[in-house]
Amino acid sequence: MVSRVEHPAASYKKIFESVEELNEPIPAVITGVIPSWLGGSLLRMGPGLFEVGDEHFQHLFDGQALLHKFDLKNGQVTYYRKFIRTDAYVRAMTENRVVITEFGTAAYPDPCKNIFSRFFTYFRGIEVTDNCLVNVYPIGEDFYAVTETNYITKVDPDSLETLKKVDLCKYLSVNGVTAHPHTEQDGTLYNIGNCFGKNMSLAYNIVKIPPVPKDKSDPIEKSQVLVQLPSSERLKPSYVHSFGMTDNYFVFVEQPVKINLLKFLSAWSFRGATYMDCFEPNASMGTWFHLASKEPAGYLSSHKFRTSAFNLFHHINAYEDEGFIVVDLCAWKGHEFVYNYLYLANVKEEWEEVKKAAARAPQPEVRRYVLPLDIHREDQGKNLVSLSYTTATAVLHSDGTIWLEPEVLFSGPRQAFEFPQINYSKCCGKKYSFAYGLGLNHFIPDRIVKLNVQTKETWVWQEEDSYPSEPLFVPSPGATEEDDGVLLSIVVKPGAQRPGSLLVLDARNLTELARAEVNTIIPITLHGTYKP
C-alpha cells in the first residue's frame, strides 16, 4: 500500500481553494458502465469557502460548509452543490468578514465600530460555531449536516436547501457530540460527547436517539443519555472524534490530546483565541480504553485498560469474539495533536515542504487492540489474549490495570490509511475481513485502499495528479459476500478537461467500473453518506 507517488507540481493545492455554489445540477459525462442497480445520491460535506473578504480561514476545518450531491438515476449522473446557510456563513457573507470563531480562526470585532463598541465586544465572549462542514447523515427520516459542537443543521437531501438549526443542548446534557454516530438496523442512533459531570468535573455521555416514533414526531425530542463515563482529568477532557460499538458494548478511547477547560472558558470571555488554542497534550497519561454495556446500560468501572500514547480520530470496527472485544482503529503515534499539521498554510505548501512537515508529525498505523472481558486476579503478569489469529496482548498488572499492546495491521512511513469504511450494514459490530480507506501521502489524499484485516493484504487504486475522497461502500442487492459491492469516491484531477468526478470502483479488486466527470473543481470533502 505504500505510495511512492510524488507531487512536485503541487496541484493538490486546488482542493483547498474556494468555489462558488451551483445554481442548478450539472450533467456529468460518463465513461465505463455504472451498475444498473446503483441509483441514489452520494452526499458529501466539506469546506468550500476558505476566505471572506480580506480575511482567510487558517485551518482545514474552518472553511464554510459546502454540501455536495452526485445523483445517479436511470443511467444518468448530475452534480450539485450549495453552501449550508448556517449563522456562521450568513453573517460572514453579510458583513464580509469572519464573524464567528472557527476551529483555528479567531473572529474579531467589526473594525467599523467605534472604539467603545469594539472594547465591549471583546469581552462579550465567543459564540459557538454552527459551521457543519464535517459530515451529513440521517436521523430518523431527516438528514443533518454536522460538526462537533452542539449545533446540527437539518437539510433537504434533494434540493440541498438549509431547513433548520437544531441545538442539541435543548434535549441532551452534552457540550457537543461527534460527527460519527453509530446506527442500528432499526434506526436507533448512538453518539458520544463530553459534558459537565458531578461537582463541575468533566465526563463523557453516550447518548441514544430512538427510531422514528409511530406518531412520526421528531426522534431528537426523545433523545436520552444512556450512560456516563468518567474523565481521567477533572478539568481536562480528551478530544473525542469517534467511538466503537459491538453488539453489546460501547468502546471509548480516552486519548492524551486534552481540552484545557480553563483555557476554553477564558477564550469564551476574551476574543482572539480559537478552539485549537485550547488543546494541549498530556505526555504522561498514555491512552485509556473504557467499556460500557448497552443492555442494561452501564460503565464497566472494573475494566481498566491502558496503552502507550496515540492520537485517534477514526475507529474502523469493533466486535466480540470468545470473551474478548477486538478493536481496530487508525492510530497516530504519540501525544502531539495531529491537527497541528492541518493548517491550510501547511497543506498548501510546495511538495518538498509538505513532506518535511509530515516527517515531523506523529506517524500513522492501523492497529488492532484486544480487550479481555473475563479478568481474574490470579492471572497477574500473564497475557490474557487467547485468540489464535492475533498477536495483540493484554497483561494484567498488580494495580488492576491491563496493559494493551496492539497488533499492527498496516504501517508505512508517512503513509496513512484513514477515513475508514466497512460494509457497515453487514459488519458493524461483527467479525469482518475488509476495510476501505483513503490513503494519505504526507497528509495529501492520493489513493484509495482496501485492507484485509485478517491477512494484511492490500489493494490500491491510484492515478497521477488525482486526489480522491473517503470511499463509501455500497453493497450489491442480495449480496452474500462481504465485499460484493462498489466504492464511491469524489476524485479531483486539477489539470483535466473535466477536473471533478464521481469514481465507481468494484470493491472486490478496486478495478474501475465507471466515472462521471463534470467541468468544475470540487474542493476537499471530509465525510458523507449514500442515500439509496
CA distance 229 to 290: 8
Backbone φ and ψ for 341, nearest 5 degrees, come out as: -100, 5
Residue identified by cell 472594547 is 119
CA distance 288 to 435: 24
Nearest one of 193, 150, 145 to 170, comparing CA atoms:
150
Amino acid at 235: L
Does the annotation place 442 within a ligand binding site?
A: no
Nearest one of 133, 146, 6, 16 to 65, comparing CA atoms:
133
CA distance 284 to 304: 17
Does the annotation place 290 within a ligand binding site?
A: no
Residue identified by cell 512536485 is 8
520 with 490: CB under 8 angstroms?
A: no
Strands 458-461 and 444-452 come out as antiparallel
- Give CA 527 to chain center in angstroms: 7
Does the annotation place 527 within a ligand binding site?
A: yes
CA distance 145 to 164: 10
Nearest one of 416, 508, 506, 517 to 466, comparing CA atoms:
517
Does the annotation place 241 within a ligand binding site?
A: yes
Nearest one of 26, 14, 27, 41 to 472, comparing CA atoms:
41
Nearest one of 401, 162, 123 to 268, comparing CA atoms:
123
Write out the binding residues for Fe cation.
Answer: 180, 241, 314, 527
Which residues are annotated as part of the binding site?
180, 241, 314, 527
